[in-house]
Amino acid sequence: MEIKIFKNYRTAMVGSGLGGMISASILSKEGYKVCLLEKHHQLGGSIQNFRRDGVVFDTGAHYIGGMDEGQNLYQYFKYLDLTDKLNLRKMDSKGFDQVSFGDNGKTYKYAFGYERFKETLLTHFPDEEKALARYIGNLVEISNAFPLYKLKNNSQSILESEYYKISTVSFLDQLTKNERLKNVLAGTNLLYAGEGNKTPVYIHSLINNSYIESAYRLVDGSSQIAEHLAESIIGNGGTILKQAEVEKFIFKDKSIEYVQLTNGEKVFADKFISNIHPSRTFEMIDKEKMRKVYRERINNLANTISVFTLYITLKKNSFKYLNHNIYYYKNNNVWTASTYDPNNWPESYMLLTQCTSGSGEYAEGITVMAYMTYDEVKKWANTTIGQRGAEYEDFKEQKADMLLDFVEEKFPNIRQHIHKVYSSTPLTYQDYTATKEGSLYGVMHDSNDPLKSLILPKTKIPNLFLTGQNISLHGVLGVTIGAVLTCSEILGPNYLLSKIREAQ
């Protein structure tokens, strides 16, 4: 069989996660001839969907913030021609996220808009008005300190920001002594796989701020983002190759000349943007081409924890659709990511009903996620999807039962509504999205040593750039901002941002 050679691209993207797709869309819009390479048959990485019993489930990206007119993601997506195309459902304005604890029967709701957010929580914490006002003031201040988050020119060095050095726990400790309130405010930490004493406050703040501004679900899943981006890339003359797994970057002198695919094909380009985990990227580069210290620093970075997930298909017209997310904790301690006891698992979960076009009053499916370390499934690391053996299947079944028992604390009769239960482990995430150890959001940022986990889009190799959740911030908004940072390295500073601000 003839081996194909793809030539004359100005930029090739390795990986079609959100970061790779947005970079390809931006550069193709700007007249670059691009080639997007994805190892799977489906585009999108963590924004891909799949079906079980006909019900659509998300791999990641269950809800997005900042999508009201004038807000940050709205305007970024406007430039990308996405805003008007997406099928979105706005979440409960009086409680889009709801946090509760097994040790008291209360539900603490997050409402849209800071005033309403504060008023809603004040009903539970009438003596904490000052703390809540300061919390809100700080979130706004922190958001303003990140120019691209506000679509402003990136003038300052991010390293100057003190918000990289303050942990979320110490930030909350400064606000109040009320342990319950602190846990309520950090109750959605699965959104950033938070480790209280490490997660820098800017991560907590940028993510919470974006959802408090507005929160939307993507009807029938987040893969609609990938589909629209693919249309625009192709419409702009770009090439998309699926089942195109890159195995090596091949150099000519100090720069990359082409990427070698596992099927023998070669893709030549002037510049390359890698959308995969930086340490995975560097594994594909010969040792002598990179400085050892740089490679080792990236390789030794800790990654955020993974999850065990239930995908539940429901009996027809049986379980009401919830237009909000549930975050549930066994005790008054929300920092369970790194500290959970495997013998006492699960200690927390996030539950949501799938937002499908078939869900009106009733839901068609439920997703439940509970933190799980890679260590719990490491012994099956050398197996492949669907072939991991009976012991692994038993493990999954046992964990699914334990998680369902825990979900029953809040939803006592949930089992009677269930049609079928499917599950995934950190290994599933690793195999489908190629994140290291199935990590939810890639590299773990640590306020105790912020420089260590800083990954810039420009690498020491002159024509290699990085994008995706390990640059800047994870999540749909974070990765979008990261892609703008990456493309600005190629298109020049501030040029792109003014186009984004002007997009109508």
Ligand X SMILES: Cc1cc2nc3c(=O)[nH]c(=O)nc-3n(C[C@H](O)[C@H](O)[C@H](O)COP(=O)(O)OP(=O)(O)OC[C@H]3O[C@@H](n4cnc5c(N)ncnc54)[C@H](O)[C@@H]3O)c2cc1C
Instruction: Provide the binding-site residues for ligand X, judged by CB under 6 A.
Output: 14-20, 37-40, 45-47, 60-64, 245-246, 275-276, 307, 429, 433-435, 440-441, 468-469, 474-476, 479
- Taking the C-alpha atoms of residue 218 and residue 58, their distance in angstroms, rounded to an integer, is 10
- Taking the C-alpha atoms of residue 226 and residue 232, their distance in angstroms, rounded to an integer, is 10
Which pair of structure tokens corresponds to residue 229?
């981006």
Report, in Å, the least distance between residue 317 CB and ligand X.
26
Smaller CB separation from ligand X, 176 or 279: 279
Report, in Å, the least distance between residue 475 CB and ligand X.
3
Smaller CB separation from ligand X, 125 or 227: 227
Task: Indicate the DSSP class of residue 116.
Answer: H
Report, in Å, the least distance between residue 188 CB and ligand X.
10
Q: Could you tell me which of 280, 256, 193 has the C-alpha nearest to residue 455?
A: 280
Which pair of structure tokens corresponds to residue 429?
């995430």
Smaller CB separation from ligand X, 19 or 457: 19
Please tell me the number of Cα atoms within 13 Å of 131 on its side-chain side: 20
Q: Which residue number places its CB atom closest to ligand X?
A: 17
Report the amino acid identity of residue 296: E
Report, in Å, the least distance between residue 55 CB and ligand X.
17
Q: Answer for the pair 6, 35: CB distance below 8 angstroms, yes or no.
A: yes
Which pair of structure tokens corresponds to residue 400?
């699914």
What is the DSSP secondary-structure string of 161-203?
Answer: -GGGTSBHHHHHHHH-S-HHHHHHHTTTGGGTT--TTTSBHHH
Smaller CB separation from ligand X, 181 or 308: 308
Smaller CB separation from ligand X, 128 or 311: 311
Smaller CB separation from ligand X, 176 or 309: 309
Q: Could you tell me which of 6, 48, 80, 44 has the C-alpha nearest to residue 275?
A: 44
Ramachandran category for residue 418: left, alpha or beta (phi over 0 → left; psi -120 to 50 → alpha) = beta
Report, in Å, the least distance between residue 24 CB and ligand X.
11
Report, in Å, the least distance between residue 491 CB and ligand X.
19
Report, in Å, the least distance between residue 34 CB and ligand X.
14
Relative to beta strand 306-314, strand 365-372 is antiparallel
Smaller CB separation from ligand X, 187 or 468: 468
Task: Indicate the DSSP class of residue 444.
Answer: P
